[in-house]
Amino acid sequence: MNDATGGPRARAGGTASAVAARISLPTYDVTVAPGSLDSVGDVARRVAPAHRYAVVTDGNVGPLYARRVVESFAGEPLHVVDIPAGEAQKTRANWGQVTDALLDAGCGRDTTIVALGGGVVGDLAGFVAATFMRGVPYVQVPTTLLAMVDASVGGKTGVDTPAGKNLVGAFHQPVAVIVDPAVLATLPLAHRRAGLAEALKHGIIADAGYFDRTAHDPDSLWIGAESDRVTALIARSIEIKADVVRRDEREGGLRKVLNFGHTLGHAIEAASGYALLHGEAVAIGMVLESELAERAGVADAGTAMRIREAVQRVGLPIDRPRAVEASSLLAATRGDKKARAGSAEYALPRRIGAMAGEERGWGIPVDERLVLEVLA
Protein backbone atom coordinates (compact mmCIF):
# COMPACT_ATOMS: atom_id res chain seq x y z
CA MET A 1 0.00 0.00 0.00
CA ASN A 2 1.06 3.61 -0.27
CA ASP A 3 0.01 7.01 0.96
CA ALA A 4 -0.44 10.11 -1.17
CA THR A 5 3.27 10.88 -1.23
CA GLY A 6 4.43 7.55 -2.61
CA GLY A 7 3.78 5.47 -5.67
CA PRO A 8 1.59 2.39 -5.67
CA ARG A 9 3.23 -0.97 -5.22
CA ALA A 10 2.09 -4.56 -5.57
CA ARG A 11 -0.27 -5.69 -2.85
CA ALA A 12 0.27 -8.87 -0.92
CA GLY A 13 -2.07 -11.68 -1.84
CA GLY A 14 -4.76 -11.68 -4.56
CA THR A 15 -3.77 -11.35 -8.19
CA ALA A 16 0.00 -11.46 -8.41
CA SER A 17 0.26 -8.68 -10.99
CA ALA A 18 -2.35 -6.42 -9.40
CA VAL A 19 -1.38 -3.02 -8.11
CA ALA A 20 -3.05 -1.55 -5.05
CA ALA A 21 -2.87 1.98 -3.69
CA ARG A 22 -4.28 3.93 -0.81
CA ILE A 23 -4.46 7.71 -1.13
CA SER A 24 -5.21 9.66 2.03
CA LEU A 25 -7.25 12.85 2.24
CA PRO A 26 -7.83 14.72 5.51
CA THR A 27 -10.99 12.82 6.49
CA TYR A 28 -10.99 9.64 4.39
CA ASP A 29 -8.93 7.21 2.34
CA VAL A 30 -9.30 6.17 -1.28
CA THR A 31 -8.48 2.50 -1.85
CA VAL A 32 -7.69 1.27 -5.37
CA ALA A 33 -7.46 -2.51 -5.68
CA PRO A 34 -8.91 -5.20 -7.94
CA GLY A 35 -11.43 -7.25 -5.98
CA SER A 36 -12.12 -4.50 -3.44
CA LEU A 37 -15.85 -4.52 -4.28
CA ASP A 38 -16.18 -7.45 -1.89
CA SER A 39 -14.78 -5.36 0.98
CA VAL A 40 -17.38 -2.56 0.81
CA GLY A 41 -19.36 -3.86 3.79
CA ASP A 42 -16.27 -4.31 5.97
CA VAL A 43 -15.03 -0.81 5.15
CA ALA A 44 -18.43 0.82 5.70
CA ARG A 45 -18.88 -0.87 9.08
CA ARG A 46 -15.41 0.24 10.14
CA VAL A 47 -15.51 3.90 9.06
CA ALA A 48 -19.25 4.60 9.44
CA PRO A 49 -21.00 2.05 11.69
CA ALA A 50 -24.75 2.43 11.31
CA HIS A 51 -28.08 0.98 12.37
CA ARG A 52 -29.06 0.71 8.71
CA TYR A 53 -27.23 0.91 5.39
CA ALA A 54 -28.70 2.04 2.08
CA VAL A 55 -27.17 1.27 -1.33
CA VAL A 56 -28.09 3.71 -4.09
CA THR A 57 -27.42 2.37 -7.58
CA ASP A 58 -28.87 2.49 -11.09
CA GLY A 59 -30.50 0.18 -13.60
CA ASN A 60 -27.20 -0.58 -15.35
CA VAL A 61 -24.95 -1.22 -12.36
CA GLY A 62 -27.42 -2.77 -9.93
CA PRO A 63 -28.01 -6.01 -11.85
CA LEU A 64 -24.23 -6.48 -12.22
CA TYR A 65 -22.84 -5.61 -8.81
CA ALA A 66 -25.49 -4.82 -6.17
CA ARG A 67 -25.70 -8.43 -4.96
CA ARG A 68 -21.94 -8.57 -4.28
CA VAL A 69 -22.08 -5.34 -2.32
CA VAL A 70 -25.13 -6.48 -0.34
CA GLU A 71 -23.44 -9.79 0.48
CA SER A 72 -20.36 -7.94 1.72
CA PHE A 73 -22.50 -6.56 4.57
CA ALA A 74 -23.08 -10.10 5.87
CA GLY A 75 -26.69 -9.68 6.90
CA GLU A 76 -26.62 -6.09 8.19
CA PRO A 77 -29.96 -4.24 7.79
CA LEU A 78 -29.71 -2.87 4.25
CA HIS A 79 -32.02 -1.21 1.74
CA VAL A 80 -31.30 -0.90 -2.01
CA VAL A 81 -32.62 2.11 -3.97
CA ASP A 82 -32.49 1.96 -7.78
CA ILE A 83 -32.67 4.96 -10.09
CA PRO A 84 -32.76 4.92 -13.90
CA ALA A 85 -29.35 5.25 -15.55
CA GLY A 86 -28.11 8.35 -17.35
CA GLU A 87 -27.20 12.01 -16.82
CA ALA A 88 -30.82 13.01 -17.44
CA GLN A 89 -31.69 11.30 -14.13
CA LYS A 90 -29.51 13.60 -12.03
CA THR A 91 -32.43 15.83 -11.06
CA ARG A 92 -34.09 17.38 -8.05
CA ALA A 93 -37.05 15.09 -8.70
CA ASN A 94 -34.90 11.98 -8.33
CA TRP A 95 -33.20 13.48 -5.28
CA GLY A 96 -36.68 13.69 -3.75
CA GLN A 97 -37.59 10.16 -4.80
CA VAL A 98 -34.44 8.66 -3.27
CA THR A 99 -34.97 10.65 -0.08
CA ASP A 100 -38.58 9.48 0.14
CA ALA A 101 -37.51 5.88 -0.44
CA LEU A 102 -35.11 6.11 2.50
CA LEU A 103 -37.81 7.57 4.73
CA ASP A 104 -40.28 4.87 3.64
CA ALA A 105 -37.68 2.23 4.55
CA GLY A 106 -37.37 3.64 8.06
CA CYS A 107 -33.89 5.09 7.62
CA GLY A 108 -32.89 7.71 10.19
CA ARG A 109 -29.87 9.72 11.22
CA ASP A 110 -28.04 6.48 12.04
CA THR A 111 -27.92 5.50 8.35
CA THR A 112 -24.89 5.22 6.08
CA ILE A 113 -25.41 5.52 2.30
CA VAL A 114 -23.36 3.61 -0.26
CA ALA A 115 -23.18 5.16 -3.76
CA LEU A 116 -22.66 2.28 -6.20
CA GLY A 117 -22.36 3.51 -9.77
CA GLY A 118 -20.89 6.16 -12.02
CA GLY A 119 -20.72 9.90 -11.59
CA VAL A 120 -24.48 10.41 -11.76
CA VAL A 121 -25.13 7.99 -8.92
CA GLY A 122 -22.22 9.38 -6.91
CA ASP A 123 -23.35 12.99 -7.29
CA LEU A 124 -27.00 12.24 -6.59
CA ALA A 125 -26.45 9.83 -3.68
CA GLY A 126 -23.87 12.20 -2.23
CA PHE A 127 -26.35 15.06 -2.36
CA VAL A 128 -28.96 12.86 -0.69
CA ALA A 129 -26.39 12.06 2.03
CA ALA A 130 -25.56 15.75 2.44
CA THR A 131 -29.19 16.69 3.01
CA PHE A 132 -30.89 13.62 4.50
CA MET A 133 -31.49 14.28 8.20
CA ARG A 134 -29.15 17.29 7.71
CA GLY A 135 -26.30 15.00 6.72
CA VAL A 136 -25.39 11.33 7.02
CA PRO A 137 -22.17 9.49 6.06
CA TYR A 138 -21.72 7.98 2.63
CA VAL A 139 -19.25 5.68 0.90
CA GLN A 140 -18.35 6.15 -2.75
CA VAL A 141 -18.02 2.95 -4.82
CA PRO A 142 -17.43 4.23 -8.39
CA THR A 143 -17.97 1.81 -11.27
CA THR A 144 -16.99 3.94 -14.29
CA LEU A 145 -13.49 5.09 -15.14
CA LEU A 146 -14.57 8.73 -15.05
CA ALA A 147 -16.05 8.35 -11.58
CA MET A 148 -12.98 6.46 -10.38
CA VAL A 149 -10.42 9.04 -11.50
CA ASP A 150 -12.45 12.15 -10.75
CA ALA A 151 -16.09 12.34 -9.67
CA SER A 152 -15.87 10.12 -6.58
CA VAL A 153 -13.09 12.18 -4.96
CA GLY A 154 -13.42 15.66 -3.51
CA GLY A 155 -16.88 15.84 -1.97
CA LYS A 156 -18.75 17.72 -4.70
CA THR A 157 -22.34 16.52 -4.78
CA GLY A 158 -25.37 17.83 -6.61
CA VAL A 159 -27.94 17.68 -9.34
CA ASP A 160 -28.55 19.34 -12.69
CA THR A 161 -31.29 21.84 -13.50
CA PRO A 162 -32.72 23.05 -16.82
CA ALA A 163 -30.39 26.06 -16.48
CA GLY A 164 -27.23 23.94 -16.36
CA LYS A 165 -25.18 21.18 -14.77
CA ASN A 166 -24.53 20.85 -11.04
CA LEU A 167 -26.16 24.15 -10.15
CA VAL A 168 -27.78 22.76 -6.99
CA GLY A 169 -25.57 20.85 -4.58
CA ALA A 170 -23.33 20.78 -1.55
CA PHE A 171 -19.81 19.96 -0.47
CA HIS A 172 -20.09 16.72 1.50
CA GLN A 173 -17.02 14.53 1.80
CA PRO A 174 -17.41 10.74 1.70
CA VAL A 175 -16.11 8.64 4.58
CA ALA A 176 -14.36 6.29 2.15
CA VAL A 177 -13.88 5.71 -1.57
CA ILE A 178 -13.45 2.12 -2.78
CA VAL A 179 -12.23 1.67 -6.35
CA ASP A 180 -12.27 -1.80 -7.91
CA PRO A 181 -10.71 -1.58 -11.41
CA ALA A 182 -11.98 -5.10 -12.20
CA VAL A 183 -15.52 -3.77 -12.68
CA LEU A 184 -14.32 -1.91 -15.78
CA ALA A 185 -14.52 -5.25 -17.58
CA THR A 186 -18.28 -4.65 -17.99
CA LEU A 187 -17.96 -0.96 -18.90
CA PRO A 188 -18.62 -0.15 -22.59
CA LEU A 189 -15.58 1.06 -24.51
CA ALA A 190 -17.10 4.50 -25.12
CA HIS A 191 -17.41 5.04 -21.37
CA ARG A 192 -13.84 3.86 -20.76
CA ARG A 193 -12.59 6.37 -23.31
CA ALA A 194 -14.73 9.09 -21.74
CA GLY A 195 -12.97 8.48 -18.43
CA LEU A 196 -9.61 9.12 -20.08
CA ALA A 197 -10.66 12.74 -20.65
CA GLU A 198 -10.43 13.45 -16.92
CA ALA A 199 -7.16 11.52 -16.67
CA LEU A 200 -5.67 13.64 -19.46
CA LYS A 201 -6.98 16.73 -17.66
CA HIS A 202 -5.10 15.79 -14.51
CA GLY A 203 -1.92 15.37 -16.52
CA ILE A 204 -2.38 18.78 -18.13
CA ILE A 205 -2.89 20.32 -14.72
CA ALA A 206 0.04 18.80 -12.87
CA ASP A 207 2.04 16.00 -14.52
CA ALA A 208 3.29 16.11 -18.11
CA GLY A 209 4.72 12.60 -17.86
CA TYR A 210 1.38 11.21 -16.75
CA PHE A 211 -0.30 13.03 -19.64
CA ASP A 212 2.05 11.38 -22.12
CA ARG A 213 1.65 7.93 -20.56
CA THR A 214 -2.14 8.20 -20.63
CA ALA A 215 -2.19 9.17 -24.30
CA HIS A 216 0.39 6.55 -25.33
CA ASP A 217 -1.05 3.36 -26.85
CA PRO A 218 -4.49 3.76 -25.21
CA ASP A 219 -5.87 0.54 -26.72
CA SER A 220 -3.43 -1.50 -24.64
CA LEU A 221 -5.04 -0.15 -21.47
CA TRP A 222 -7.98 -2.48 -21.94
CA ILE A 223 -6.00 -5.69 -22.22
CA GLY A 224 -7.07 -7.08 -18.85
CA ALA A 225 -9.18 -4.87 -16.61
CA GLU A 226 -6.94 -5.78 -13.66
CA SER A 227 -3.74 -4.82 -15.46
CA ASP A 228 -1.10 -2.92 -13.52
CA ARG A 229 -1.27 -0.09 -16.05
CA VAL A 230 -5.01 0.57 -15.59
CA THR A 231 -4.80 0.44 -11.81
CA ALA A 232 -1.72 2.65 -11.72
CA LEU A 233 -3.38 5.14 -14.11
CA ILE A 234 -6.40 5.37 -11.80
CA ALA A 235 -4.25 5.74 -8.68
CA ARG A 236 -2.06 8.51 -10.13
CA SER A 237 -5.07 10.46 -11.35
CA ILE A 238 -6.63 10.27 -7.89
CA GLU A 239 -3.34 11.37 -6.31
CA ILE A 240 -3.27 14.49 -8.50
CA LYS A 241 -6.85 15.42 -7.70
CA ALA A 242 -6.45 14.61 -4.00
CA ASP A 243 -3.44 16.90 -3.76
CA VAL A 244 -5.47 19.79 -5.17
CA VAL A 245 -8.48 19.06 -2.95
CA ARG A 246 -6.33 18.87 0.19
CA ARG A 247 -5.09 22.39 -0.47
CA ASP A 248 -8.49 23.88 -1.40
CA GLU A 249 -11.45 21.75 -0.39
CA ARG A 250 -14.21 24.25 -1.22
CA GLU A 251 -12.88 25.71 -4.49
CA GLY A 252 -11.85 29.10 -3.19
CA GLY A 253 -8.74 29.20 -5.34
CA LEU A 254 -6.48 26.39 -6.52
CA ARG A 255 -9.26 23.84 -6.94
CA LYS A 256 -10.55 25.92 -9.86
CA VAL A 257 -7.81 24.38 -12.02
CA LEU A 258 -9.81 21.13 -11.99
CA ASN A 259 -12.42 22.97 -14.08
CA PHE A 260 -10.18 23.00 -17.16
CA GLY A 261 -12.29 21.94 -20.13
CA HIS A 262 -15.50 22.15 -18.13
CA THR A 263 -16.73 25.69 -18.81
CA LEU A 264 -17.25 25.06 -22.51
CA GLY A 265 -17.60 21.32 -21.90
CA HIS A 266 -20.64 21.72 -19.66
CA ALA A 267 -22.26 24.04 -22.19
CA ILE A 268 -21.65 21.56 -25.00
CA GLU A 269 -22.89 18.61 -22.92
CA ALA A 270 -26.15 20.37 -22.04
CA ALA A 271 -26.64 21.60 -25.61
CA SER A 272 -26.37 18.00 -26.84
CA GLY A 273 -29.29 17.05 -24.61
CA TYR A 274 -26.76 14.85 -22.77
CA ALA A 275 -26.36 12.71 -25.87
CA LEU A 276 -22.63 13.33 -25.41
CA LEU A 277 -21.04 11.59 -22.45
CA HIS A 278 -19.57 13.94 -19.86
CA GLY A 279 -16.03 12.88 -20.73
CA GLU A 280 -16.67 13.41 -24.44
CA ALA A 281 -17.92 16.95 -23.79
CA VAL A 282 -14.96 17.69 -21.51
CA ALA A 283 -12.58 16.41 -24.19
CA ILE A 284 -14.03 18.89 -26.68
CA GLY A 285 -13.93 21.56 -23.99
CA MET A 286 -10.22 20.95 -23.35
CA VAL A 287 -9.41 21.22 -27.05
CA LEU A 288 -11.32 24.50 -27.35
CA GLU A 289 -10.12 26.01 -24.07
CA SER A 290 -6.47 25.19 -24.80
CA GLU A 291 -6.87 26.99 -28.14
CA LEU A 292 -8.44 29.86 -26.22
CA ALA A 293 -5.44 29.89 -23.86
CA GLU A 294 -3.01 30.24 -26.77
CA ARG A 295 -5.04 32.97 -28.49
CA ALA A 296 -5.25 34.88 -25.21
CA GLY A 297 -1.46 34.72 -24.84
CA VAL A 298 -1.70 32.55 -21.73
CA ALA A 299 -0.38 29.20 -23.00
CA ASP A 300 2.92 28.31 -24.63
CA ALA A 301 2.75 27.82 -28.38
CA GLY A 302 2.02 24.22 -29.31
CA THR A 303 0.11 23.41 -26.12
CA ALA A 304 -3.25 23.29 -27.87
CA MET A 305 -1.97 21.00 -30.62
CA ARG A 306 -0.53 18.52 -28.09
CA ILE A 307 -3.87 18.40 -26.29
CA ARG A 308 -5.84 18.04 -29.52
CA GLU A 309 -3.61 15.18 -30.69
CA ALA A 310 -3.81 13.38 -27.33
CA VAL A 311 -7.59 13.66 -27.18
CA GLN A 312 -7.87 12.31 -30.70
CA ARG A 313 -5.42 9.49 -29.97
CA VAL A 314 -7.50 8.12 -27.09
CA GLY A 315 -10.58 8.07 -29.33
CA LEU A 316 -12.46 11.11 -28.05
CA PRO A 317 -14.10 13.87 -30.13
CA ILE A 318 -12.27 17.14 -30.78
CA ASP A 319 -14.95 19.23 -32.52
CA ARG A 320 -18.08 20.80 -31.08
CA PRO A 321 -21.47 19.75 -32.46
CA ARG A 322 -22.20 22.06 -35.40
CA ALA A 323 -25.95 21.90 -34.85
CA VAL A 324 -25.58 24.30 -31.90
CA GLU A 325 -24.86 27.96 -32.55
CA ALA A 326 -21.66 29.35 -31.06
CA SER A 327 -23.64 32.22 -29.56
CA SER A 328 -25.87 29.75 -27.71
CA LEU A 329 -22.87 28.01 -26.18
CA LEU A 330 -21.41 31.34 -25.13
CA ALA A 331 -24.68 32.31 -23.48
CA ALA A 332 -24.71 28.99 -21.60
CA THR A 333 -21.28 29.74 -20.09
CA ARG A 334 -22.68 32.88 -18.44
CA GLY A 335 -24.98 30.70 -16.34
CA ASP A 336 -22.20 28.33 -15.34
CA LYS A 337 -21.54 28.13 -11.60
CA LYS A 338 -18.00 29.39 -12.27
CA ALA A 339 -19.29 32.64 -13.80
CA ARG A 340 -18.66 35.91 -12.00
CA ALA A 341 -20.53 39.18 -12.70
CA GLY A 342 -22.32 37.51 -15.59
CA SER A 343 -19.16 36.36 -17.39
CA ALA A 344 -17.42 33.02 -17.34
CA GLU A 345 -13.98 32.51 -15.84
CA TYR A 346 -11.74 29.86 -17.33
CA ALA A 347 -9.11 27.51 -15.94
CA LEU A 348 -6.40 27.61 -18.60
CA PRO A 349 -3.09 25.80 -19.04
CA ARG A 350 0.24 27.54 -19.34
CA ARG A 351 1.76 24.37 -20.73
CA ILE A 352 1.28 20.63 -20.28
CA GLY A 353 1.79 19.99 -16.56
CA ALA A 354 1.20 23.55 -15.33
CA MET A 355 -1.79 25.86 -15.13
CA ALA A 356 -1.88 29.62 -15.57
CA GLY A 357 -3.65 32.23 -13.46
CA GLU A 358 -2.21 31.85 -9.97
CA GLU A 359 -1.97 35.63 -9.65
CA ARG A 360 -5.70 35.87 -10.49
CA GLY A 361 -6.84 33.14 -8.09
CA TRP A 362 -6.74 30.51 -10.88
CA GLY A 363 -9.84 31.86 -12.65
CA ILE A 364 -9.08 33.79 -15.85
CA PRO A 365 -11.62 36.12 -17.50
CA VAL A 366 -11.50 36.01 -21.30
CA ASP A 367 -12.93 38.45 -23.82
CA GLU A 368 -16.12 36.88 -25.18
CA ARG A 369 -15.19 37.88 -28.71
CA LEU A 370 -12.17 35.59 -28.41
CA VAL A 371 -14.40 32.77 -27.16
CA LEU A 372 -16.67 33.18 -30.18
CA GLU A 373 -13.66 33.07 -32.50
CA VAL A 374 -12.59 29.73 -31.00
CA LEU A 375 -16.11 28.33 -31.11
CA ALA A 376 -16.44 29.36 -34.73
Distance CA 345, CA 251 (A): 13
The partner residues of 22 in beta bridges, in order of sequence, read 31
CB 137 within 8 A of CB 45: no
Choose, from 165, 236, 241, 306, the residue flagged as catalytic. Answer: 241
CA distances in angstroms from 185 to 19, 45, 116, 227, 327, listed in the order given: 16, 27, 16, 11, 40
Distance CA 269, CA 266 (A): 5
Q: How many CA atoms lie within 13 A of 248 on its CB side?
A: 13
**259 is annotated as an active-site residue:** yes
Residue 68 CB neighbour total at 10 angstroms: 15
**266 is annotated as an active-site residue:** yes
Choose, from 134, 322, 340, 369, the residue flagged as catalytic. Answer: 134
Choose, from 11, 192, 262, 320, the residue flagged as catalytic. Answer: 262
**166 is annotated as an active-site residue:** no
**373 is annotated as an active-site residue:** no
The partner residues of 82 in beta bridges, in order of sequence, read 57
Choose, from 202, 259, 280, 306, the residue flagged as catalytic. Answer: 259
Q: How many CA atoms lie within 13 A of 253 on its CB side?
A: 7
**191 is annotated as an active-site residue:** no
Choose, from 255, 256, 306, 308, the residue flagged as catalytic. Answer: 255
Choose, from 11, 79, 156, 172, the residue flagged as catalytic. Answer: 156
**262 is annotated as an active-site residue:** yes
CA distances in angstroms from 33 to 111, 243, 263, listed in the order given: 26, 20, 32
CB 125 within 8 A of CB 82: no
Choose, from 11, 191, 266, 320, the residue flagged as catalytic. Answer: 266
Choose, from 239, 251, 280, 291, the residue flagged as catalytic. Answer: 251
**216 is annotated as an active-site residue:** no
**213 is annotated as an active-site residue:** no
Choose, from 201, 278, 308, 320, the residue flagged as catalytic. Answer: 278
Choose, from 198, 269, 280, 289, the residue flagged as catalytic. Answer: 198
**198 is annotated as an active-site residue:** yes
Instruction: Just list the catalytic residues.
Output: 134, 156, 198, 241, 251, 255, 259, 262, 266, 278
